[in-house]
Amino acid sequence: MDNWLSFSPLDYLDADSRFGDITCLTSVKDSIYCWQDRSFGKISVNERSLVKDNNSNMIQLGQGGVAQRIDYIDSVHGMSPD
Domain regions of the chain by residue span: 3-74
Most confident by average pLDDT, 3-7, 17-21, 67-71: 17-21
pLDDT tens sequence across 46-67: 666 677 778 877 776 655 556 6
Sheet containing 31-36: which strands, arranged edge to edge?
22-28, 31-36, 39-43, 70-74
pLDDT tens sequence across 24-44: 888 887 788 889 999 999 887
The β-bridge relationship of strands 70-74 and 48-52 is unpaired
Flag whether the pTM goes above 0.85.
no
Query: Which of 39, 41, 36, 32 shows the shortest CA–CA distance to 22?
Result: 36
What CA dihedral angle connects 29, 31, 37 and 38, to 10 degrees? -110
